[in-house]
Amino acid sequence: MTEAQGLSPYELLGGEAVLRRLVERFYDIMASDPRAAGIHAMHGDDTTLIRQKFFEFLSGWLGGPELFVQKYGHPRLRARHLPFAIGEDERDQWLLCMYQALAEIPMDEGLRSHLEEAFFRTADFMRNRDQ
Distance CA 13, CA 7 (A): 10
Q: pTM for this structure? A: 0.92
Q: What is the CATH number of the domain that holds 119?
A: 1.10.490.10
Rg of the chain in Å (alpha carbons): 14
What is the band of 131 on the pLDDT scale with cuts at 50, 70, 90? low
Percent of the chain with pLDDT over 70: 96
Look at residue 130 and tell me if it is in a domain: no
Look at residue 88 and tell me if it is in a domain: yes
Look at residue 71 and tell me if it is in a domain: yes
Look at residue 7 and tell me if it is in a domain: no
**Per-residue model confidence as pLDDT tens digits over 14-66:** 999 999 999 999 999 999 999 999 999 999 889 999 999 999 999 999 999 99
Contacts of 13 (CB under 8 A, 6+ apart): 19, 22, 62, 105, 107, 111, 115
What is the pLDDT, as a whole number, of residue 44? 87
Distance CA 60, CA 106 (A): 21
Q: Is the pLDDT of residue 2 over 70?
A: no
Instruction: Please report, as a single letter, which amino acid is at residue 110.
Output: G
Range of the domain at 37: 33-125
